[in-house]
Amino acid sequence: MTLIKSISGIRGTIGGQPGENLTPIDAVKFAAAYGTYIKNQRNKDTHRIVIGRDARLSGEMLQQLVMQTLVGMGIHVIDLDLSTTPTVEIAVQLEHADGGIILTASHNPKQWNALKLLDSNGEFLNAEAGAEILKLSESVDLKFAEVDDLGEIHKNDAYIDIHIDEVLDLDIVDEEAIKAAKFKIVVDGVNSTGGIAIPLLLDRLGVHTVKLYCDPTGHFPHNPEPLKEHLGDICELVKEEDADLGIVVDPDVDRLAFIDETGEMFGEEYTLVACADYVLGENPGDTVSNLSSSRALRDVTLKHGGKYHASAVGEVNVVTKMKEVNAVIGGEGNGGIIYPKSHYGRDALVGVALFLTHLAKKKIKVSELRSSYPSYFMSKKKIELTPSLDVDKILETIAASYKNEEVNTIDGVKIDFEKHWVHLRKSNTEPIIRIYTEAFSQAEADQVADAMIAEIKEIAGI
């Protein structure tokens, strides 16, 4: 059982001992710290915070604890109840709220939950804000409201529909082209809120939808991370239904993966590539993804005359870089699409609308679309080191060894070679170096990773 406190929020397994797991006591302390932070940052008479959750089993319990804690601080709550992460982000903007909290552990299994924290722009808090909230969560000086100053809870269950309206209002989304394509699509909502939101969106787009695991019970039927090894059921159903494609989302609907008409994975890394290809064709410009994302985005960006930029890993870092370079689209290779004309957050609903517009206009099969992009293959490995070893020194040595190559050290060490790349990142909690590689074949990607592991072991003397 685990409790992880970080600058991005608090995440842990339900039950067990306070301070060691995500218990009601921990949820209340952290919610109070966030409420205090919001009141300190925005000096005014009344404050409002938007709250939503995915469908996991502990969500309703945690939501009640968090909302009532904020009420006790004199903060008004806008309760979206079952929702998605991007829906809460949009609601914060539209409500002109002071912040937002999503109760979700994203792709983690059902025993996990978390508090994801947003600022008044509906964007994830930066490192400085996260550190301040962590500090406040350990404080005994938190102040609550007197009885006449308690907050109120206002329920609003319309925001998924409002979110869909916002997506369909985007100029770049061609609703009529999608309707004319008469797509048949299988949706795996992993029994969470994607099972509500994605079919509603597809219905508005005139899609014949086949639902798989779309009942928001919180009982995940498979590992909720949308990776190939977890998605055998939808791959088979796409073939059985003779569907045009399959759509898979994680429990809080910020990650998106596609299955082609043959039942094969489109490739989670290629979700962003395909959406960027369409957006850049309509609106040329720059793109951003994190250092561990596929080189294919760079290739597509250059094809359209734009410039590709890499950020440190983490959505907040991608967003910061996107704003800095005024990128027209960006995201993460895990299936996260960030389209600034909607909002600065990963959004599977936006991704679905962009992808289907692209597919409908090209009038080709999903497998044909995938074959139009460069094929890269990734390897993701790790090496465990003893606590006594200086991981930073090891990474510095590696960077110096490859100084004649293209080296980026904003987040670990990434080395770009002509035909492949290697990205080394240290864990913040364990003596581990994670090794990510990409090449033109899986065998080559694995070989490059193994060679780098051997080099690290030699430097470390192990």
401 is catalytic: no
Provide the CA 455 distance to its chain's centre, in angstroms.
Answer: 32
H/E element holding 113? strand 112-118
Residue carrying the six token digits 């007197």: 146
Residue carrying the six token digits 């080189």: 295
Residue 45 buriedness (CB in 10 A; 0-12 / 13-18 / 19+): exposed
Q: Per the residue annotation, which of 8, 58, 83, 106 is the catalytic one?
A: 106
CB atoms within 10 A of CB 324: 12
* Cα gap 147→328, rounded to integer Å: 48
* Encoded tokens for 7: 């600058």
In the sheet that holds 9-13, the strands lie side by side as: 3-6, 9-13, 112-118, 99-103, 48-53, 76-82, 153-155
* Cα gap 419→374, rounded to integer Å: 12
* Cα gap 356→184, rounded to integer Å: 11
HEC-encoded secondary structure of 3-30: EEEECCEEEEEECCCECCEECHHHHHHH
Answer whether 124's CB lies under 8 Å from 99's CB: no
Instruction: Give the torsion sign (CA, 377, 260, 357, 335).
Output: negative
User: Which amino acid is present at 134?
Assistant: L
Point out the residues that are catalytic: 106
